[in-house]
Amino acid sequence: MSNKWEQLFFESEIPFYTYKLNKGDALILNYQAKCKPFTIICYGTVYLMKIFTNSESIFISILTYKSIIDFNFFDSNYIYYKVVALENTYFMKFFWLDYIAHCQYLSTSIKLLDLFRYTLRQYESSSSILIHKSIKYRVVQLLLLLCKDFGVLNNNYVLIPFELSQKTISYITGSNQTTVNKVVNFLIERLFIKYVIKNKIVICYFSFFIYLRNNKIA
C-alpha cells in the first residue's frame, strides 16, 4: 500500500484511519447526519453501486488508486451505497473537520483537490458504460474501460489484471447473467476476447479494438 498520503497526514498531524477490503468484500455506506468522513483509495480497485429500498441497484463508478469517496454525497435515508472490491484494496479515512483544524500545508490541500479532480474523471469515464441502451454495448464499453485504465499489454492482447465474474459484469451493466453470458459468448466466438472461467480473467485480443474502431462503437 502506498504510504504517500499517510506521510502527508502524519506531517500535518491530521487524524486518520486505515482499513482493507479483501477481493470480493463489500462495504455498505449508509446515510449519516453528522461527521461524514472522506476515504482515499491508497491501493486497489472497487466499484460503487447505489441500492434502493426495493433492492434495485444502479452502477455509479469504478474507482481506483488516487480516487476519493465522498461520504457527504450520500445524503438520503432511502438509499444506500455499496463499495465492492475487485481486488485487495486499502483505504485511508479521515474527517473534514479534522482536516481543516490540523492542515498547515497548502501543498496538501492542493494534492487533495487533485484527488477530487481525478475522481470526477473516473465518474465521467464510468458513466460512458450506461449511456448505451444495448446491454451488448454496455459490456463492450466496460471491457474497453477496464483495458484502457487497468489493462496489461501483451504481444497480441490486453489482460484485465483482476477477477471479473460474469455476475459482476451483470451488476455493473444493469443486466442479468443470462444476457451477459450471451454477450460474452458472442465475443468469444468472434475471437475478440478469451474468458478464463476458472480464474474469471478476461483477455481482450487486438481484433476486439479493431472491431470497435471499425464499427464506431466507442
Q: What is the pLDDT of residues 51-71, one digit of tens each?
A: 888 888 899 999 998 898 876
Asked if residue 38 and residue 110 are part of one domain, the reply reads: yes
> Same domain for 25 and 78?
yes
**Same domain flag for 122 and 139:** no
Order across the sheet with 152-153: list the strands.
152-153, 157-159, 201-205, 193-196
146/117 same-domain check: no
This prediction has a pTM of 0.85
pLDDT of 218: 59
* Residue where a domain terminates, one of 65, 98, 128: 128
For the stretch 78-123, pLDDT in tens is 788 899 999 999 998 888 777 777 666 656 666 777 888 888 889 9
Number of domains within the chain:
2
